[in-house]
A = this chain, B = another copy of it.
């Protein structure tokens, strides 16, 4: 078997943990498997480097930031190869140049385009464990790029696809994907399987185990993922295509407090207003979620939506700047203490009444719903932040997810 194993920064934060990971990889190697390991930078090293850069130049060019950041993973992989070697197993570290890992040109947020498998194959054929820098690539100018948040997961999935790997294991600090955040819902249960689409919804809802881009890529190339803990040998959660899986009505409940609600009131009731509003926000890179356009009432209408907390100030500024001139609205309201609670399930599509059951559970718990948004396999509600935990618990109970 050819196995790709990805470990995050906390898993390689110090000598002891590096050796733990090394031993874990060596077990597979000794069973005769070919092992490719993808690593992030050690612990908080990426943040340390970002702080160094900020201290020198708060507006540093992203090209140079990527040049700096890529040293982080290179350090991890070199040390890991040394650790494996000291345990008697030949290992070789490779960076984005050596693989090579080609990406688009966007510094800080590049996308993988093509991975050369030749060097990796050569090293595997010589019975070496191959330790590869996650998160980084090179663009057509031969400059380093980085893949943005969750980049190392994406590297692992892309490698698994390029190498046609038999398994792609994403190691994290939790046991797998749960029906809800166990810190929020104590009786949350670990899922043994989940579909790509469910995982995508959960990831975008802030469940945070896997980044969206890596799941999208896994889906696109049919790479079966296993999310499991680097701290124990528990089974983990398999993320795969849904055709062979019994479809769960609801797979999980996600809670997201990183939400700010905006209401733009008294907008002119004429075509193009909504376009203008979201166009201004998009120009300032503000990602918008849960859009609701009110039923018109006479001359004016209201539009409300949510953004993430880090975008709230930019969104407010943008709206205020254009509020008088191009938008012509009466009032802009921002509410920060809101939360989004969502249920996700591939079986939802063919089962009406799921949303109603969720709303009923919240009503029974005395929780008011501010806004609703849905996709084919997801229902999200916006509620007051203080009710986030009881809401998640109530919905979890209503669908008996602990069973």
A residues adjacent to B (C-beta < 8 A): 15, 18, 49, 52-53, 55-57, 59-61, 63-65, 67-68, 70-71, 74-75, 77-79, 81-83, 85-86, 92-93, 95, 97-98, 119, 142-143
Contact = CB atoms under 8 A, between A and B. Distances in A.
A377 B119 CA distance: 51
A142 B57 contact: no
A60 B75 CA distance: 14
Contact of A64 (B56, B82, B98, B119): B82
Given A64-B93, A97-B97, A142-B98, A57 B74 contact: no
Contacts of A59: 86
A266 to B, nearest CB: 44
4 closest pairs, A vs B, by CB?
Answer: A68-B78, A57-B86, A71-B71, A57-B82
A85 B98 contact: no
Given A64-B85, A86-B56, A92-B63, A70 B74 contact: yes
B93 A79 contact: no
Contact of A82 (B53, B78, B98, B142): B53
B67 A81 contact: yes
18 contacts: A52-B79, A57-B82, A59-B86, A60-B82, A60-B86, A61-B82, A63-B92, A64-B93, A67-B78, A68-B74, A68-B78, A70-B74, A71-B74, A71-B78, A74-B74, A97-B97, A97-B142, A119-B142
Q: Which label, helix, strand, loop or mixed, suits the secondary structure of the A interface? A: helix
Contacts of A15: 55-56
Given A61-B85, A63-B92, A98 B56 contact: no
Contacts of A142: 97-98, 119
A74 B67 contact: yes
Contact of A93 (B67, B82, B92): B67
Nearest to A70: B74
A85 B67 CA distance: 14
Contacts of A92: 63-64
A92 B62 CA distance: 11
Contacts of A53: 78-79, 82
